[in-house]
């Protein structure tokens, strides 16, 4: 069931992932824990605001596209076919106020037109992630940071990126996840560096590693 309003989109678990969360995700998605931790470190931002709602970036261009421009004239701050930097508020409360304005016009399109949480996965990825509606997807991501990281892994699975990550093909992953300008911002090299660092830290902590650098206690069965 879709949440009835943004007030329903509040975390039940706050704080970063536990080791058990990484172990579960590693097992479910057949990835080593260091890979997931590296992506979360490089790609991730802040998961939740002080009110318990997920961090959000609302995209007026997407809302305009998904509503066929019906609200471009009447609500230009939430529906605008052209990029305008002033359409992107800086504060958490202002971004949710923008979402709520769009929600009052078209709830489904509002959910689809924003990115959420630590990984900033777009709402329109809902069906790819196995949800019937974007509202259900957003509710899932609003529950915990672990769910937000899993949303990224669902995205990776449906876009055939799990094998790319298993090979530690950072450029291949960054090209699809970050777009064609990934190299300009060094996403692939940052991922490779983070993976090497995390693998070394895990090896030091657990004192035993597999030949490819994965910690035994953090590898999928």
pLDDT at 211 over 80: no
Confidence band of 2 (pLDDT split at 50, 70, 90): low
Percentage of the residues of the chain whose pLDDT score is greater than 90: 62
> Residues 6 or more apart from 100 whose CB is under 8 A from it?
5, 6
How far separated are the first and last CA of the chain, in Å rounded?
Answer: 34
d(CA 94, CA 58): 10
Q: What integer pLDDT is reported at residue 177 of this predicted model?
A: 86
Closest CA to 194 of 211, 210, 173: 173
Confidence band of 216 (pLDDT split at 50, 70, 90): very low
Distances (CA, A) of 44 to 37, 87, 131, 201: 10, 23, 22, 19
Question: Under a CB-based contact definition with an 8 Å cutoff, are residues 191 and 38 in contact?
Answer: yes
Closest CA to 18 of 120, 144, 140: 144
Q: Tell me the pTM.
A: 0.82
Distances (CA, A) of 188 to 30, 54, 133, 158: 21, 26, 32, 20
pLDDT higher at 129 or 205: 129
> DSSP labels for 144-192?
-HHHHHHHHHHHHHHTT-HHHHHTT-HHHHHHHHH-TTGGGGTHHHHHH
The mean predicted confidence, pLDDT, of the chain is 87
Per the listing, tokens 């995700």 go with 25
152-182 per-residue burial string, b: 16 or more CB within 10 A, e: under 16:
bbbbbbeeebbebbeebbbebbbbbbbeeeb
Question: Under a CB-based contact definition with an 8 Å cutoff, are residues 115 and 122 in contact?
Answer: yes
Closest CA to 220 of 40, 36, 25: 25
Residue 145 burial (10 A CB sphere; 0-12, 13-18, 19+): buried
């Amino acid at each position: 069931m879709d949440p009835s309003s943004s007030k329903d989109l509040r975390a039940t678990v706050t704080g970063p992932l536990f080791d058990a969360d990484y172990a579960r995700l590693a097992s479910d998605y057949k990835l080593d824990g260091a890979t997931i931790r590296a992506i979360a470190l490089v790609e991730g931002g802040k998961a939740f605001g002080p009110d318990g709602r997920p961090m959000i970036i609302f995209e007026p261009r997407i809302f305009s596209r998904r509503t066929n421009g019906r609200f471009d004239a009447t609500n230009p701050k939430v529906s605008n076919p052209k990029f305008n930097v002033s359409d992107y508020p800086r504060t958490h409360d202002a971004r949710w106020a923008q979402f709520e304005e769009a929600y009052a016009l078209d709830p489904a399109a509002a959910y689809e037109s924003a990115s959420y949480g630590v990984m900033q996965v777009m709402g329109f990825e809902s069906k790819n992630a196995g949800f019937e509606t974007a509202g259900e997807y957003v509710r899932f991501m609003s529950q915990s940071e672990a769910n937000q990281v899993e949303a990224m892994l669902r995205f990776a699975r449906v876009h055939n990126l799990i094998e790319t990550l298993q090979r530690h093909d950072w450029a291949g992953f960054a090209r699809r996840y970050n777009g064609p300008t990934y190299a300009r911002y060094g996403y692939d090299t940052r991922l490779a560096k983070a993976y090497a660092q995390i693998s070394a830290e895990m090896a030091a902590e657990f004192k035993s590693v597999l030949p490819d650098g994965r910690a035994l206690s953090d590898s999928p069965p």
